[in-house]
Structure 1
């Protein structure tokens, strides 16, 4: 499916594991069904929330194949193909493309913290060789580096770039990025507590952790904004702030996997170094879920 005009709620899907620490494909299919029923507009696999940094290439491709098969063309499936190694990012991008992925999410090269030209060439080395639309991913809090305004300007015109996931939490940076938006280059909020502000700058939606547990609410919020009902969208954003903050009370995806386990959708299993929540933050999370009507 074409993602070049994608709008709405894109769930940054968790990867469920079983008691032995292996990918739980039955649970993965349940999650896909949950999102199809809840109105999610697209699914992102193998992102930060999907714990792809602890998975093998074989597991990555198997997860992508499972989700693509279960979705069966009803909504787009996007694959995270980022790496701090440019060649590895290209390899993974091409591997996902061969398996039928609809688009790719490409993160800045973390840890290496390259200079401006190196970051530009990191992206173009992949963009020049793939045949599916790509979304850039700016999240300096995790990677230690940002996509500069100059690089946004240059990359926004590349024929294989269709947008940017903006997760810096810096509204000033997002405003700068907004100057380059067009029908061919869209912005998606990467922060669940800033969806409406990003939409107000011309954004097209969100790539969301929150949507894992409340797909209908996140889809409805973005749909309301894009339909011109800004008051309804803002009301949903503000009503759910306590839940959103609880979902980030520990490092993502620890709380959201705990939340999905509370809802009976997955087992609460992580790949180390991730570890189950502390008691205090777990209580806060469950209280927020009860207030949001997600659990009894």
Structure 2
């Protein structure tokens, strides 16, 4: 099970679909193998980029089961279970844990008013999940701001093992959380960054334990984490900077998942770049821009050569 010592790169996996919208089982297996081969420390499925709201409960649990069987215990798998109501959250969370998931990720539901309402909601969610809990701090999506002192209060529950830090700008909040830990005002939790990987070197320098994101070249994220851990900050930044134009292109609101799936198809990791409706479609012009960035990246990075 997931615990507070978790670190490294947890790849947020998309949900592969066939052209008719059915879950692509073969691509699911190939994608899982590819992420493990890339050096992932873990995987996260049914997250924001996993199109979870477009899946039925039965489809969600079938997808969880398929991934877990393919992983076969090699790395921990976190399952996103954020939902408008606790009944749906419980069904996905408990079903996933029973299948072998290592932890469950939940963010505050939009519309909560005031610090106490947010803290109370997360406390109830942890009771519903009753498993290793990842708190996703993503105010750009939820509209909910959680301060470092609020996070410290929620972390008093030992079931909260990880903070997925996605506030933007959020580096000072990350530092504030680590300061509260150092001062003995909260227990130490695992912190993984996010927001598409845009600030990975800075997050690691501020005390993050790794990253949880879905960039189409997770091998780069793994290498940057290793270089930072070895004290090679300049080498880590140089490698990261090569990928930054594509990262920037991938994190465009609304269109980002379509671009990510397009690149994963180019890499042979999934077979189709299908998004379930409603979803954006890439224009020929956008595809051309992505192809150009891949070609530039391939000049200096072997990772991109196959794409």
The residue number in structure 2 matching 1:178 is 178
Query: Which runs of 4 or more aligned residues in structure 1 lie more than 6 Å from their structure 2 counterparts after TM superposition?
Result: none
Distance in 1, Cα, partners of 2:283 & 2:140: 22
After superposition, give the CA deviation of every residue in 1:173-222 in whole Å (9 maximum; x if it has no partner): 33333334577412111121111111111100001121xx2122111111
Asked if 1:280 is matched to 2:285, the reply is yes
Equivalent of residue 219 in structure 1, options 215, 219, 222: 222
The residue number in structure 2 matching 1:158 is 157
SS at match of 2:49: coil
Query: What are the within-5 Å matches in structure 2 for residues 43-122 of structure 1?
Result: 43-110=43-110, 112-122=111-121
The residue number in structure 2 matching 1:201 is 206
After superposition, the CA RMSD in angstroms is 1.9
Residue pair 2:220, 2:240 contacting (<8 A) in 1 also: no
TM-score using structure 1 length = 0.92
Distance in 1, Cα, partners of 2:90 & 2:180: 25
Equivalent of residue 261 in structure 2, options 257, 262, 269: 257
Asked if 1:189 is matched to 2:193, the reply is yes
After superposition, give the CA deviation of every residue in 1:56-94 in whole Å (9 maximum; x if it has no partner): 111111111111110111111110011232443233222
TM-score using structure 2 length = 0.89
Distance in 2, Cα, partners of 1:26 & 1:80: 22
The residue number in structure 1 matching 2:233 is 230
Residue pair 1:45, 1:79 contacting (<8 A) in 2 also: yes
Residue pair 1:250, 1:281 contacting (<8 A) in 2 also: no
Distance in 2, Cα, partners of 1:250 & 1:155: 29
After superposition, give the CA deviation of every residue in 1:103-128 in whole Å (9 maximum; x if it has no partner): 11111213x34432222122111213
Evaluate the alpha carbon distance shift between residue 28 and residue 114 of structure 1 in structure 2; reply closer, same or farther with a 3 A threshold: farther
Residue pair 1:93, 1:126 contacting (<8 A) in 2 also: no
Instruction: Tell me the matched-pair count.
Output: 293
Distance in 2, Cα, partners of 1:86 & 1:123: 11
